[in-house]
């Protein structure tokens, strides 16, 4: 037997998802997002794996969600989240305490005390920073849902905050040092998100990113017009590639999809090795 025969479900699970996705597209029920397109930008396989398995860094995702709620929708925090008690669940009393907590927290997302403490530190820092506070205080909308269509596809986006002439995106970062955030903005394709969100509202507004790290350091960044325009053009290109994948069924391709013939040539650099 070979590895395919030993693992018959490996390909079948992905093919089943692709079939479901294509059916949704034909029925006009397929919605894309910045997260799905940024994964598709790496390769079709990255997109499928993201849709099937999400991301491994669940603690960071939960921290970001708690941060957003504390900053943008604090009135909803107690309805949505429950902070786990600090108790030793190896003991009888600890188990009883924790089980009672779970019983009283049904339909809420459980948050560890450490994640909550970090989120509070970050939220207070964002709301204490002069620049980020001014942007958030002047916002007309927070956590604004936008359903929109462009280039033949439907999209669902949530704008963290929108003012009269600007849009704000709140991001948890490993380090809020401005130079490091700029690298994160480029490597995480946040300029693509900016371009998509301004396409979503179909308005020419300034686009700010509020970066905050776990230590409570904050820096605010304005994405320049040229970078936003590049994001819009890349967005259009990715929609074209996505349509190509739908027609050629190339969803299991990895990095070879982005190369000319499946091969990446590499030459001696201009500098000495």
DSSP string computed for the chain: --HHHH-THHHHHHHHHHHHHHHHHHTT--EE-HHHHHHHHH-HHHHHHHHHH--S-HHHHHHHHHHHHHHH-GGGHHHHEEEPP---TTSHHHHHHHHHHHHHTTTSEEE-HHHHHHHHHHHHHHHHSHHHHHHHHT-SEEEEEEEEEETTEEEEEEEEEE-SSEEEEEEE-S---HHHHHHHHHHTTHHHHHHHHHHHHT---EEEEEEE-TT--EEEEEE-HHHHHHHHHHHHHHHHHHHHHHHHT-TT--GGGGSSSS-------SS--
Contact 201, 162 (CB under 8 A): yes
pLDDT in tens, 19-68: 999 999 999 999 999 999 999 999 999 999 999 988 766 889 999 999 99
pLDDT in tens, 215-254: 999 999 999 999 999 999 999 999 999 999 999 999 999 9
Q: Give the N- to C-terminal CA distance of the chain in Å, as an integer.
A: 45
Quick one: which of 9, 46, 35 has its CA closest to 245?
Answer: 46
Phi first, then psi, for residue 247 (nearest 5°) are -85, -30
Residue 100 has pLDDT above 90, yes or no: no
The whole-chain average pLDDT of the chain stands at 93
Contact 48, 146 (CB under 8 A): no
Summarize the confidence of residues 199-208 as an average pLDDT: 97
Domains of the chain: 3-251 (3.90.320.10)
> Is the Cα torsion angle 147, 221, 241, 51 positive or negative in sign?
negative
Summarize the confidence of residues 95-115 as an average pLDDT: 82
pLDDT > 90: percent of the chain: 77
Burial of 34 (0-12, 13-18, 19+ CB in 10 A): buried
Residue 110 has pLDDT above 80, yes or no: yes
Query: Residue 156 CB: number of other CB atoms within 10 A?
Result: 13
């Amino acid at each position: 037997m070979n590895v395919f025969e030993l693992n018959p479900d490996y390909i079948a699970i992905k093919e089943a998802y692709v079939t479901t996705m294509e059916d949704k597209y034909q029925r006009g029920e397929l919605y894309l997002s910045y997260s799905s397109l940024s994964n598709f930008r790496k390769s079709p396989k990255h997109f499928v794996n993201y849709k099937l398995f999400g991301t491994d860094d669940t603690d960071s995702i939960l921290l970001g969600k708690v941060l957003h709620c504390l900053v943008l929708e604090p009135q909803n925090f107690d309805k949505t989240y429950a902070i786990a008690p600090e108790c030793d669940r190896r003991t009888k009393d600890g188990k009883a305490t924790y089980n009672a907590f779970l019983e009283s927290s049904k339909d809420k997302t459980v948050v560890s005390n450490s994640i909550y403490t970090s989120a509070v530190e970050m939220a207070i820092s964002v709301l204490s920073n002069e620049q980020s506070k001014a942007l958030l205080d002047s916002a007309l909308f927070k956590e604004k849902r936008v359903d929109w269509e462009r280039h033949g596809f439907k999209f669902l986006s949530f704008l963290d905050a929108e003012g009269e002439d600007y849009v704000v995106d709140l991001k948890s970062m490993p380090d809020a040092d401005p130079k490091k955030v700029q690298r994160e903005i480029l490597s995480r394709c946040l300029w693509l998100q900016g371009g998509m969100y301004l396409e979503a509202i179909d308005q020419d507004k300034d686009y700010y990113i509020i970066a905050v790290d776990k230590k409570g350091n904050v820096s605010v960044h304005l994405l320049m017009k040229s970078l936003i325009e590049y994001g819009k053009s890349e967005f259009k290109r990715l929609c074209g590639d996505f349509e190509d994948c739908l027609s050629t069924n190339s969803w299991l391709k990895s990095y070879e999809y982005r190369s000319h013939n499946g091969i990446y040539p590499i030459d001696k650099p201009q500098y000495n090795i």
